[in-house]
Structure formats: C-alpha cells, structure tokens
Structure 1
C-alpha cells in the first residue's frame, strides 16, 4: 500500500509539473504595421487604435526599416497611448537602431479590451532632416 501511495504522489507531482510548464501563454500573436516619418522635430500620431487582446502588461515593438535615419545617432521615441493622448507606456523610451520585440512596459495597469495606438517623437538636433522608421507593434 505504501508503494502505491508513493507512486500516486509521484504521478501527481509529475502531472503538476507538466501543467505548470506546458500551459501555453495566451499573449496576443498579432502585430500591426506602423510608419513614423517627419522632418526636423516631428510628432507621430497613431494611424489607428487597436484592441488590447490580453492582460499582459507589456507592448512589443520592432523597427525593421528606415529611410535617412542615422542609426546609432538619431533618436526616435515611441510609446503606446489612448485616443485621449494619455500615455500607457513611457514616452521616455527611445530607439537608435533596429530592434526586434522590444518591450514597452505599461506604466499603469491596462486591461484587455482597451484601444491603444502607437505614437512617436523625433528631434534630430533641430536639423530639418526628413526621415522614416517602420516596423510592427503589438499593444
């Protein structure tokens, strides 16, 4: 009887470990295209607002194309916001090079079902430079 209880306990432990590590994360698996372009000091307003499909408290961003953007020099600030311009991720986060799956942590809890857009800002040291950056983002 003792052997049976040990085997049963081992079976429950194995099942618990399998469930703990085998349950997939239900993070959103879609992304939206964006292009942020301007000249000199530029503000990028969202092209659209998209529903946040999960309760994860990070947005994701990639930059995979650019035009006349001096990588490693120019700074492009990108953040997620509501349609009333209320920031949900920090507008202090900037990028100087291509990135893949950069985290934009939400600064205030943002539940699934909220609609967010990607906004941006660029200032190339007051030079009237025309540029663009683009990629994918997930709210």
Structure 2
C-alpha cells in the first residue's frame, strides 16, 4: 500500500521537529556553519550522525517503516534493516504553497569535505506522493 501525501506531510513535520531539536543541542555544528556562510537567522535542522537515530524516534511516534521509506526519510539495508537517509547533515525543509513540508534538502557536515569516501555533499528527498 502506498503512503498518502497527507501521511508523508505528517511524517515530514515530525522529522523536522526532531531535527530542529537536534540543532539546539550542545555540540551541534549547524549554527556555526550557517554563520560562517553569512546565513545567520536561517532556520535549519541537524540530522545527527548514526544509522538509526530518526527512524526509531519516529517509530515511537506511530510511523511505520513503510511510511518512512515512502517519505524518503529512511533507507533499507541489504540485511532488511531500516535506517536514516539523512545522517550528519544540515537539513532544510522544502515547502509547498500551503507551507506544508513536502521534502528536504540537506548538506553533509563540512568536517567531512576532505574525506574521499564521504557521502554526497548534497542530498534531497526522493520523489514522493507529497
């Protein structure tokens, strides 16, 4: 069964709340990075590092793995496990004309910019029904 656009908007809002909270915690790097780029005052979230930080949090809030996968917030591993698609990234919401969050764009932590094995610099939500 395909996840509805309304449910994807709901899971995106929950992910945004989680990432915004992380951006206010001690040790976050997003605020300093935005300031260094002349973007003080930009509201951004921070996806924490690690394979499964967002996924278990949203499961506890009543979202299913299928909904997380359909929203582009999770990835399925070869072993069948489900983990976060956005890890150690500055996250910005993509909104529709009604101000609903329909997806995200994200930049990896700049501390990894010199690492040849680093993941892609920018990552966007996959295409979804939202």
Q: TM-score category by the smaller chain?
A: under 0.3
TM-score by length of 1: 0.23
Rg comparison, structure with higher value: 1
Higher relative contact order (CA 8 A, sep 6+): 1
TM-score by length of 2: 0.24
In terms of fraction of residues, the more strand-rich structure is: 1
